[in-house]
Structure 1
Amino acid sequence: MPARHFDRSRLRTVRRAAEIYQAAVGEALGVSDSAVASWESGAQTPDPEKLPALARALGRDVDDLFPRSGPPDLTDLRCDAGYYQYETAALTGTRSAGPVAAAERGERRLKDKYVPALAAAYGVSEEELRRAEARSIAKAQGVQVDEPAASEAGNTSAPGAPPESLAEKITLLLDSSYPGPQGPPSDAEMASAVNAHAGAHVITEEDFRDLRTGVTGTASAEVLDALADVIGVSRMYFQPDDAVAAQVYEGLQMLAAAKKGSVGRMKARGLGSQGLSPTAMALINELVAEMEEKETDANE
């Protein structure tokens, strides 16, 4: 995932505006004032592990002073907590930082026994830690992951924009369908509900987590149908945007034909390679029949 953005000019401007000397910043971070000077000049860049402490020393929020253009992976969470990788051995009670290092590289998942301690040390929930882990794995595999929170890179949806990826759609549904402190069901609970509605074991807890976090970008029709039933939305909600657009386009053509008095030509057929679903066509045919009846009455 994208690292936090360090802007040396902004650092200098914020420090001067706060009337804080470089020496005071260095003392707060345990570095020399010359190190701070080198950061502001661009000769060096501070370690990402030091950015949270640097923001605190200047009385600013780390997300404000050093924004990140995407949701955090495991490395980001560790750096945001101010831990160097070698220090995680003490957190997991292992001889080395190997388990965390491997997970950050996306090579293997963390063992369950390491998760509570790391989540507590990083100041996040176990669920958030697992989501970050999924992003690290996805990054290693070159897979599209769940979408960044900001659009600094210019390739993300603007705030408030409709969700595009399957992960975005699932996340939006869960967040909006289960508000309040209780929050949405766990991945295990969602997988169990999907299987119950499907009448078969079609998805595991890990499979659902991968869908929700974007590690997996697609799912079978059986899984999506059951998921739509569980949450209470139309199956069309999970259709790719281009497929939905094709159906909307057909509907618009039908309406245009209706205005020209030629709705009969629309009856019982689709207009494109996608075609309308049988249910949608049945609804349109009912509407066409009603329009034709009204046209006949008007002409008599």
Structure 2
Amino acid sequence: MSARHFDRHRARAVRRAAERSQSDVAAEVGVGNSAVANWESGHTSPDPEKLPAYAAALRSSLDDLFPREGLPDLADLRCDAGLYRYETAEVIGTKSAGPVTGAERGDRRLKDMYVPLLAKKYGVSEVELRRAQDRSMAAAETRKSNTAAEPGSQKPAVERRSGPPESLAEKITEILQRSYPGPDGPPSDAEMAAEVNARAGADLITAGDFEDLRTGATDTVLPAVLDALADIVGVSRMYFEADEAVAAQVYEGLRLLAAAKQGAVGRVRARGLGAQGLPPEAMALINELVAEMAEKQENVDG
């Protein structure tokens, strides 16, 4: 990947020359007021997807302010369009960004039907898009060849678990290694943090924070982070809940059904269970079952 070069000193100089404040730039880029200050101080770096808006906010050309050495691959074209990977699902009309993710990582090529859609959104020709795809594929083959040629460099196979994951760290690791990997293995902590923040629409987590969650250094996390993570990897939010919380919800559901079966319909219908209760979809299903049972009971009694 021929990523663009970010020079914080040049970015700060250009901003000052344009007589723009950090808060002005942050507003146009769509980040918090402290983000630009952190970029200019070197504490963090902007996501490559933010660079087009960043250059525009500084009234500069993307190529002039953030130059690139070499030719772009698929990921580069997407970033130059200011799109996060998950946003491409809407572009190609799929439920997830899996087709684009696979092509960017050199796992599989895009279907022909997706090429004109992405080319138009990226602002390039179909020929340019296909050439960028060729570079992504070639880079993946090079990485595989280099790995095979280096003694002892082969990544170990994922160890099979004897049972389901229990802790939050185990659940995150399990789904990244089994369900969300690319040809080079699971995405990095930085990649996942960026996708979570993009999906949530706010800077909620850093790469270090995500690493702490993945390794078990902490299990304290904002619900919004888990909501975004569940959306990204395509699982139910309940997957990340503690086993006892899930068990409590299942128990409540069974208890309500048992009450309905015993004729206690009046106490069950449309009843909410609070923060630890069933989700609305499950509650609606139970209420439908309760109503059906009530109707059957009325027919019997009548």
TM bucket by the smaller chain? 0.3 to 0.5
Tell me which structure has the larger Cα radius of gyration: 1
**TM norm structure 1:** 0.47
